[in-house]
Amino acid sequence: MPALLRPALEPFLDLLRCPVCRGSLRPDRGALRCATGHTFDIARQGYVSLLTGTRATSGDDTAMVQARNRFLSTGRYAPIRRTLARLTADALPGRGTVVDVGCGTGYYLAGVLDQLPDARGLGLDASVCALRSAARAHQRAAAASWDVFRPFPLVDQAADVVLDVFAPRNPSEFHRVLRPSGRLIVVRPTERHLAELRGHLPAMVTIDPDKEQRLQQALGPFFEAAVTRHVAYTAPLTRQEAIDLLGMTPSARHLTHADLGAHGLLPDQVTVSVLATSYQPR
């Protein structure tokens, strides 16, 4: 039986474009199809598969998604989500469209939409495993598979707010799909983020000390920083939460099962330290 078009996806049909020919897309027997005939299946979980040709090589696998869902459900990252929601509400006080690029399981987009009852959201991610959760994360959130490094399958000036939370960035495309009055909100870690875990596990991916400078250089031609919030606190961790926190990060690809499960090596608390900046288009 063909997958049905989810109600959350329908409002985005006017904003989505065929990634092959840039034509408009319309629903047709469990898929989206352009006038030329390019067809993109709607998965039974509700997301639409827009990636074509060579697939993205990044993205969370099943184990990472399961770890992410378990950890985020503990509320340890809730202060980050609340800060993101406040910044979005300041940029979008009424109706509007939020696009979350690299949305993962949809945790942050859902938190934003909870605070914006008149907004709609679209999550883009390369991970099919993550999109299965993102498509069901919120009743006003749609989801589609996409690679952040390719031109987005969206019309110009489609979004009022673009979110980028712990995700890769494509500044020129962020700028293209944002309305002139819109905002780009970027959340990224500081050098202190998860310092205790990195101290216990040297194999973890480190945070480049020049990361912030490179971010500003990349965004500078397109955006100007409007406001920045530093979210910093110490969170307690159970042993399972520590394992899940490691398992949901890019470090999971570099750590062995012995690293993740070694007795006595995991801390019982961790520093959370991220910057959240709202940028206005130049």
User: Which region among 36-50, 56-70, 168-182, 190-204 has the lowest average model confidence (pLDDT)?
Assistant: 56-70
Measured in degrees and rounded to the nearest 5, phi and psi for residue 90 equal -65, -35
User: pLDDT of 213-243, one tens digit each?
Assistant: 999 999 999 999 999 999 999 999 999 999 9
- Amino acid 249: pLDDT: 83
Is position 3 within any domain?
no
Summarize the confidence of residues 80-95 as an average pLDDT: 94
21 is in an annotated binding site: yes
**Statement: residue 188 has pLDDT above 80:** yes
**Statement: residue 271 has pLDDT above 50:** yes
The whole-chain average pLDDT of the chain stands at: 91
- Amino acid 209: pLDDT: 83
Is position 79 within any domain?
yes
103 is in an annotated binding site: no
Residue with tokens 């875990």: 197
Measured in degrees and rounded to the nearest 5, phi and psi for residue 8 equal -70, -25
- Amino acid 263: pLDDT: 46
175 is in an annotated binding site: no
User: pLDDT of 92-142, one tens digit each?
Assistant: 978 999 999 999 999 999 999 999 999 999 999 999 999 999 999 999 999
Is position 56 within any domain?
yes
18 is in an annotated binding site: yes
Task: Classify burial at 109, counting beta carbons within 10 Å of its beta carbon; exposed 0-12, middle 13-18, buried 19 or more.
Answer: buried
| CATH number, residue 179 | 3.40.50.150
Tally of domains within the chain: 1
Task: Classify burial at 200, counting beta carbons within 10 Å of its beta carbon; exposed 0-12, middle 13-18, buried 19 or more.
Answer: middle
CB atoms inside a 10 Å sphere around CB 245:
26
- Amino acid 204: pLDDT: 79
193 is in an annotated binding site: yes
- Amino acid 114: pLDDT: 96
- Amino acid 254: pLDDT: 67
Dihedral angle over CA of 126, 276, 251, 55, nearest 10: 10
Is position 1 within any domain?
no
Confidence of residue 270 (pLDDT cuts 50, 70, 90): very high
Is position 30 within any domain?
yes
106 is in an annotated binding site: yes
**Statement: residue 198 has pLDDT above 90:** no
Is position 219 within any domain?
yes
List the domain range (segments joined by +) for residue 273.
10-281
> pLDDT above 90 covers what percent of the chain?
77
Is position 2 within any domain?
no
258: enclosing H helix or E strand? helix 257-261
**Statement: residue 18 has pLDDT above 90:** yes
**Statement: residue 74 has pLDDT above 90:** yes
